[in-house]
Structure 1
């Protein structure tokens, strides 16, 4: 089992989860993060740290649609090991539903 970052992260990208990850399995896209399932050790410490409530175990139905996205983009986006600065408008996007269409396949700058 692994954890999955879902669409709730889009345009929020707080990165609190990155700070607590003991194996540095987060990868940064332009407007969200993903978890590399081959590196995640299923410790679960990232899940409660996410202010956007965007991280779920892959066994959770809410993770299903985003599991492949995490796997795919963890192979091409840069690894992130420290918390960066969240977007200035992150709080405005935090609780907005259906952010999937806003997903950017571009890596973080």
Structure 2
């Protein structure tokens, strides 16, 4: 019977860890979520994350702000925004991006019909 309290405390610790890990978020509403518009020049295009259902990332050099990661979700069918024509983009192309600000300084093109990444 002595092992029951030890087992119980270990189960409690596991439950606490599971609860805490599930409650962790990737940025709060105060860090992002507002609509941002940028204009700049494409520095790189990485669509490789789409192969494992991640966000493609287009790095855009913005005067006065530096490099901004513009994220393009793999599941456009879940987005309000029209799909981005990645084939129309190339390194050196001047673009405009409208998307939701993320806590890490990135922009995600998805949650609003007005969101876009287009050549200028």
TM-score by shorter chain over 0.5:
no
Give the TM bin, normalised by the shorter chain. under 0.3
More strand by share: 2
